[in-house]
Chains A and B, each alone.
Chain A
Amino acid sequence: MENPENIIEVRNLQIDFHTYAGEVKAIRDVSFDLRKGETLAIVGESGSGKSVTTRSLMGLLAPNAVIKSGSIMFHDEDIIKKSEKDMQHIRGKDIAMIFQDPMTSLDPTMRIGLQIAEPLMKHKGLKKKEAVAQALEMLKLVGITDPENRINDYPYQFSGGMRQRIVIAIALVCYPEVLIADEPTTALDVTIQAQILDLMKDLQNRIDTSIIFITHDLGVVAGMADRVAVMYAGKIVEYGTVDEIFFNPQHPYTWGLLNSMPTLDTEGGSLSAIPGTPPDLLDPPVGDAFAARSDYAMKIDTEKEPPFFKVSDTHYAATWLLHPDAPKVTPPAEIVRRQKKFATMQKPEAPIKHETKE
Chain B
Amino acid sequence: MRKYLLKRIFYLFLTLFIVATATFFLMKLMPGTPLQNEAKLTASEKASILAQYGLDKPVWLQYFIYIGGIFKGSLGLSFQFSDQAVSYLIGSRMGPSMQLGGQAMVVGVIFGIILGAVGAIRKDTWADRLATVLSILGIAVPSFVLAILLQYYLGLKLGWFPVAGWEGFAYTILPTLALAASPLAETARFIRTDMVDVLSSDYIELAKAKGLSKFGIVYHHALRNSLIPMVTLIGPLAAALMTGSMVVENIFSVPGIGEQFVKSILVNDYPTIMGVTIFYSALLCLLLLLTDIVYGIIDPRIRLSGNGD
B39 in the interface (beta carbon within 8 A): no
Q: Give bound CA distance, A252 to B200, whole Å.
A: 37
B224 in the interface (beta carbon within 8 A): yes
Chain B positions within 8 Å of A101 at CB level: 202
Contact A107 B207 (CB under 8 A): yes
When the two chains form the complex, which single residue of B202, B206, B210, B228 contacts A122, counting CB atoms closer than 8 Å? B210
Chain B positions within 8 Å of A156 at CB level: 300-301, 304
Number of A residues contacting the other chain (C-beta, 8 Å)? 30
Chain A positions within 8 Å of B205 at CB level: 60, 99, 105
CB-CB contacts of B234-245 with A at 8 A, as 1s and 0s? 000000000000
Give the number of A-B contacts (CB < 8 Å): 79
With A105-B203, A156-B300: A110-B224 Cβ-Cβ less than 8 Å: yes
Q: Give bound CA distance, A101 to B201, whole Å.
A: 11
CB-CB contacts of B215-227 with A at 8 A, as 1s and 0s? 0100011001100
Contact A104 B202 (CB under 8 A): yes
B28 in the interface (beta carbon within 8 A): no
Contact A88 B213 (CB under 8 A): yes
Q: Give bound CA distance, A101 to B208, whole Å.
A: 16
With A99-B206, A105-B202, A156-B300: A123-B228 Cβ-Cβ less than 8 Å: no
Q: Which residue of B has the minimal Cβ distance to A60?
A: B208
Contact B212 A88 (CB under 8 A): yes
Chain B positions within 8 Å of A317 at CB level: none
With A93-B211, A122-B210: A109-B228 Cβ-Cβ less than 8 Å: yes
CB-CB contacts of A250-292 with B at 8 A, as 1s and 0s? 0000000000000000000000000000000000000000000
With A109-B299, A154-B301: A99-B202 Cβ-Cβ less than 8 Å: yes
Contact A92 B300 (CB under 8 A): no
Q: Give bound CA distance, A333 to B207, whole Å.
A: 47
Shortest A63–chain B CB gap in Å is 9
With A156-B300, A157-B304: A107-B209 Cβ-Cβ less than 8 Å: no
A119 in the interface (beta carbon within 8 A): yes
When the two chains form the complex, which single residue of A58, A106, A154, A171 contacts B203, counting CB atoms closer than 8 Å? A106
Q: Give bound CA distance, A122 to B221, whole Å.
A: 14
Contact A88 B211 (CB under 8 A): yes
Q: Which residue of B has the minimal Cβ distance to A93?
A: B211
When the two chains form the complex, which single residue of B203, B210, B221, B304 contacts A92, counting CB atoms closer than 8 Å? B210
When the two chains form the complex, which single residue of A105, A106, A108, A122 contacts B211, counting CB atoms closer than 8 Å? A122
Contact B300 A90 (CB under 8 A): no
Contact B210 A107 (CB under 8 A): no
Chain A positions within 8 Å of B301 at CB level: 108-109, 154, 156
Q: Give bound CA distance, A107 to B300, whole Å.
A: 11
Chain A positions within 8 Å of B207 at CB level: 107, 118
Shortest B212–chain A CB gap in Å is 6
Q: Give bound CA distance, A106 to B207, whole Å.
A: 9
Q: Give bound CA distance, A323 to B254, whole Å.
A: 91
A89 in the interface (beta carbon within 8 A): yes
With A99-B205, A106-B203, A170-B206: A123-B211 Cβ-Cβ less than 8 Å: yes
Q: Give bound CA distance, A167 to B209, whole Å.
A: 11
Contact A170 B203 (CB under 8 A): no
Chain A positions within 8 Å of B216 at CB level: 122
Chain B positions within 8 Å of A167 at CB level: 206
Shortest B266–chain A CB gap in Å is 49
Shortest B217–chain A CB gap in Å is 10
Q: Which of A69-127 contact B (CB under 8 A)?
A: 87-93, 96-97, 99, 101, 104-110, 118-119, 122-123
Contact B225 A109 (CB under 8 A): yes
Contact B209 A58 (CB under 8 A): yes
Q: Which residue of A has the minimal Cβ distance to B203?
A: A107
Contact A122 B224 (CB under 8 A): no
Chain B positions within 8 Å of A87 at CB level: 211
Chain A positions within 8 Å of B201 at CB level: 104
Q: Give bound CA distance, A17 to B112, whole Å.
A: 34
Q: Give bound CA distance, A135 to B178, whole Å.
A: 50
With A105-B202, A105-B206, A167-B206: A110-B211 Cβ-Cβ less than 8 Å: no
Chain A positions within 8 Å of B220 at CB level: 110, 118
Shortest B308–chain A CB gap in Å is 14
With A99-B202, A109-B224, A110-B221: A91-B300 Cβ-Cβ less than 8 Å: no
Q: Give bound CA distance, A90 to B210, whole Å.
A: 9
Chain B positions within 8 Å of A58 at CB level: 208-209
Q: Give bound CA distance, A123 to B206, whole Å.
A: 15
Shortest B227–chain A CB gap in Å is 9
Contact A154 B206 (CB under 8 A): no
Contact A108 B203 (CB under 8 A): yes
Chain B positions within 8 Å of A170 at CB level: 206, 210
In this complex, the member of A96, A109, A156, A171 whose beta carbon has the largest number of chain B beta carbons within 10 angstroms is A109
Q: Which residue of B has the minimal Cβ distance to A114?
A: B220
What are 13 A-B contacts with C-beta separation under 8 Å? A89-B211, A92-B210, A92-B211, A96-B210, A105-B202, A105-B205, A107-B225, A109-B225, A109-B228, A109-B300, A110-B224, A119-B210, A171-B209
Residues of B within 8 A of A (CB): 201-203, 205-213, 216, 220-221, 224-225, 228, 299-301, 304
Residues of A within 8 A of B (CB): 58, 60, 87-93, 96-97, 99, 101, 104-110, 118-119, 122-123, 154, 156-157, 167, 170-171
Q: Given A92-B212, A110-B224, A122-B210, 14 other A-B contacts at CB below 8 A?
A: A58-B208, A58-B209, A88-B212, A89-B211, A93-B211, A99-B205, A99-B206, A107-B206, A107-B221, A108-B301, A109-B225, A119-B211, A122-B216, A171-B209
